[in-house]
Structure 1
Amino acid sequence: MATFNYQELQATAAELIEEFGQAGAVMRSTPPDTVYGGEPVVTSYPATLVPMAYEARYIDGTVIRTGDMQIYISTVGLAIEPTVGDIVTANGTDYAIVNGDPNKFDGITNVVFIVQGRTAF
């Protein structure tokens, strides 16, 4: 039985995001040391992404709110896996990730990251 090539699917997703997307960043904040204190350290990871507004039929005012963005992030070259609490910069706006789907169908290869971003105030 033949197996599906998820690296090929990942390459196709990266190619489409590169063609139709934009440069952005995923920022992760590391909390201060519990003993010594200090300030949180924010690290920015460059990313290629495509931000898209949710269609009106998906906006329920609770889980998905007006102004939320569905952001497709290429996994190729991204050093981290975006997760809830990270900030994504797209269209010159910062979006806090409130939900995400890594699309790791085979449990190994991240094909594309799809996250729900909410304007970070």
Structure 2
Amino acid sequence: MATFDYAEMQAVAEELITEFGQMGAIKRITPPDPVLGGDPVETSYPANLVPMTYDQRYIDGTTILTTDRQIYISSVGLTVVPQVGDIAVAGRVEYHVINADPNNYDGHVNVVFIVQGRLA
């Protein structure tokens, strides 16, 4: 039985996102130390991404709003795994990450990150 090549699928996803997407960023804000205090630290990670409108049949007005975007983020070269609480930046538009799916089927290769982004 042949095994599935997830690295190949990752390369295909990277190629498509590069062709149809844009350079953006994932911003992560680290809260201040609970004991020592200080200011929150914002770190920006360059990312190649594609924000797409959700198909009308998925928009229910509660979980998914009409202004939400399904954002495909290339995992190639990205040094963080997008998570809820991060901010995806596409162009000059910022989206709060509401839901995140790493699409890691074999436990080793993140094929592509798909997040639900809500206007910040």
TM-score over 0.5 for the alignment? Answer: yes
Where on the TM-score scale, by shorter chain, does this alignment land: which range? over 0.9
1:116 maps onto 2:116 in alignment: yes
Structure 1 unaligned regions, length at least 5: none
Shift of 1:35: 1.4
AA partner of residue 64 (structure 2): I
For residue 87 of structure 1, what is the aligned residue in structure 2? Answer: 87
Secondary structure at the aligned position of 1:105 is classed as coil
Instruction: Provide the C-alpha distance between the structure 2 equivalents of 1:53 and 1:2, rounded to a whole number of angstroms.
Output: 36
Instruction: Provide the C-alpha distance between the structure 2 equivalents of 1:91 and 1:66, rounded to a whole number of angstroms.
Output: 19
Secondary structure at the aligned position of 2:14 is classed as helix
Shift of 1:58: 1.0
Secondary structure at the aligned position of 2:15 is classed as helix
What pairs up with 1:1-121 in 2 under 5 angstroms?
Answer: 1-120=1-120
AA partner of residue 84 (structure 2): V
AA partner of residue 61 (structure 2): G
- How high is the TM-score relative to the length of structure 1? 0.96
Secondary structure at the aligned position of 2:24 is classed as strand
AA partner of residue 28 (structure 2): R
Secondary structure at the aligned position of 1:43 is classed as strand
RMSD, aligned CA = 0.7
Instruction: Provide the C-alpha distance between the structure 2 equivalents of 1:47 and 1:71, rounded to a whole number of angstroms.
Output: 11
Instruction: Provide the C-alpha distance between the structure 1 equivalents of 2:15 and 2:39, rounded to a whole number of angstroms.
Output: 38
- How high is the TM-score relative to the length of structure 2? 0.97
